[in-house]
Amino acid sequence: MKTSWDILRKALVCAGVASIVFLWSSMGLSYDVIDVHHGAMIGGTVEFHGTPPSPLVFEVNKEPDVCGEIRSLTKVDVHQGRLRGAVIILEGVEQGKAFESQTLTAMAPGEGEFRYASGTRLDLNVRLKNCNFGPFTGVVMADQVVQFSNHDPIKHTLHTYVLKGKKANILRTLNTQNLAPQSDLEQTFTPKKLKHGRVVALTCDRHDFMENWMYVVESPYFAISDEAGNFSIDQVPQGQYDLVAWHPVLGSQRQIVNVDENGTLRVNFEFKK
């Protein structure tokens, strides 16, 4: 029987972990919500050059009546040369806009969602449905509670890992064995556990096609590229920042950006196989 570590180790091999650049941080940046006046807009596209890897196909052995007999996992989602699911992070913003409410939904047939609430905190709810956590990529914030809600009529055994360089350390096992459907589990990723790690992976022992990757952010200044590869970040305070594009398979890229009041800045990223 495969364990979650077996699944994650295989995922790292498939991703070509030697080519992935994991970013390091003290995870100690405090962020204050203020009114932003004369904020700027950063937008752009994320392109992919080459032939993306084919989706992984899995024969479902457990609960196929709920999950389906065959499931696939698309790790590099490309449409007409544009990359979906790249996480764009503006680093170094210490004060600015509030977090925005948004819901990110998995690709069909999965129905899982990452639900982010608005306000002074990220407040993430991972809504499991149809044997799926949510989209392949998302974000999480250190020292804030993440709520997991199971909306399947079956049990899932969830594992969370933090990646540090080429190693993955388990954070916690969340076992739904004795919980009814739609019950909630909560986990807090503390700065101590995330020390020097900026990537969190989610897996399920019972279903090896359930695999998700989350980048640890420190402010609301992030975006995830859509199906057309587009992204935008608004209400950016004036200043100089690092703009990072990250993908769990393709690695990361970094550009220095200078933001002026009321400005509009366009930044493009290009990934290759």
In 3D space, the residue among 112, 175, 181, 185 whose CA is nearest the CA of residue 153 turns out to be 181
* Mean pLDDT confidence for 185-189: 69
- Whose structure tokens read 């402010």? 219
Cβ 28 vs Cβ 190: under 8 Å: no
CATH topology of domain 4-272: Immunoglobulin-like (2.60.40)
Using 50, 70 and 90 to split pLDDT, how confident is the model at 241?
A: very high
Higher pLDDT, 167 or 6: 167
Range of weakest confidence among 80-94, 137-151, 165-179: 165-179
Between the alpha carbon of residue 50 and those of residues 88, 218, 225, 271, the distances in Å are 21, 32, 18, 9
The yes-or-no verdict on residue 140 having pLDDT over 70 is yes
The Cβ of residue 116 has, within 10 Å, a number of other Cβ atoms equal to 22
With a CB cutoff of 8 Å and minimum separation 6, the contacts of 178 are: none
pLDDT digit string (tens) for 24-73? 344 555 899 999 999 999 999 999 999 999 999 999 999 999 999 999 99
* Mean pLDDT confidence for 178-201: 67
* Mean pLDDT confidence for 211-229: 96
The reported pLDDT for the residue numbered 183 is: 52
The reported pLDDT for the residue numbered 15 is: 42
Cis status, amide bond into 109, omega within 30 of 0: yes
The reported pLDDT for the residue numbered 105 is: 95
Please tell me the pTM assigned to this model.
Answer: 0.86
Q: How far apart are CA 138 and CA 68, in angstroms?
A: 24
With a CB cutoff of 8 Å and minimum separation 6, the contacts of 113 are: 103, 104, 105, 106, 125, 126, 127, 129, 134
The yes-or-no verdict on residue 182 having pLDDT over 60 is no
